[in-house]
A and B are shown apart, each in its own frame.
Chain A
Amino acid sequence: GAVVSQHPSWVICKSGTSVKIECRSLDFQATTMFWYRQFPKQSLMLMATSNEGSKATYEQGVEKDKFLINHASLTLSTLTVTSAHPEDSSFYICSARDPMKDRVETQYFGPGTRLLVL
């Protein structure tokens, strides 16, 4: 149980284009999902907390107009990197909490999306 998927797993795009990443909870409903970014050999950096039916809460330093988050349903959150630049190249990982689990605080991670902007 508590399986999270992400699509795509890999994306290569040209500078200036927009990229959409989907995060789905497959066997549970997630009212809250999290978006992280991880640069090589560094720890996870929380970008934003996505709540179903409301606006995402962004961490300090994360541009909300550049990283658009939509959590339109209890099983799907999307992250759109708008006008991507090479410095946006990173490993983007989503996670979700399963409110039905005994330990609701546990975050379950998707497999991640590796973005390369040329």
Chain B
Amino acid sequence: GQNIDQPTEMTATEGAIVQINCTYQTSGFNGLFWYQQHAGEAPTFLSYNVLDGLEEKGRFSSFLSRSKGYSYLLLKELQMKDSASYLCAAMDSNYQLIWGAGTKLIIKP
């Protein structure tokens, strides 16, 4: 079956770095997405990886290892506004997104 695993909740300190891991199993693979979702709001696109390696975009970076079925989202210089849920989603061979349950990130001062 198809499955996405990510931690339910993580806590970090303002100004620090946090890494949110995601493992996936899909029928075929057409890329891995990370979305940010603040409480009561719709998701917003953060990153897309389809090739192995690290992609950096400002304070956020996303990594993919296709052979390991593994990705992580790295958030640097954490700010209070980064408190949100982070959704990992893998795209299967039919271009359907398989969504993880999301990781709730709590930032403490």
Interface residues of A (CB under 8 A from B): 42-46, 91, 93, 103, 105-112, 114
CA distance in complex: A43, B33 (Å): 14
Sample of 17 further A-B pairs with CB below 8 A, known A105-B91, A106-B45: A43-B99, A43-B101, A46-B97, A91-B40, A93-B42, A93-B43, A103-B31, A105-B30, A106-B33, A106-B48, A107-B45, A109-B35, A109-B42, A109-B45, A110-B42, A111-B41, A111-B42
Q: Which residue of A lies closest to B96 (CB)?
A: A46
| Other-chain contact of B99, A44, A105, A112 (Cβ < 8 Å) | A44
A109: chain B residues at CB < 8 Å are 35, 42-45
CA distance in complex: A46, B89 (Å): 12
Please classify the interface of chain B as helix (H, G, I), strand (E, B), loop, or mixed, using the class held by over half of its residues. Answer: loop
Please provide the 3 A-B residue pairs with the shortest distance between their CB atoms, ordered closest to farther. Answer: A109-B42, A112-B42, A43-B101
CA distance in complex: A93, B101 (Å): 16
Cβ < 8 Å to A, chain B residues 76-109: 87, 91, 95-97, 99-102
Q: Which residue of A lies closest to B43 (CB)?
A: A109
Given contacts A105-B48, A106-B33, are A43 and B87 in contact (CB under 8 A)?
Answer: yes
B97: chain A residues at CB < 8 Å are 46, 107
Q: Which residue of B lies closest to A94 (CB)?
A: B42
A103: chain B residues at CB < 8 Å are 31, 48
A105: chain B residues at CB < 8 Å are 30-31, 48, 91, 95
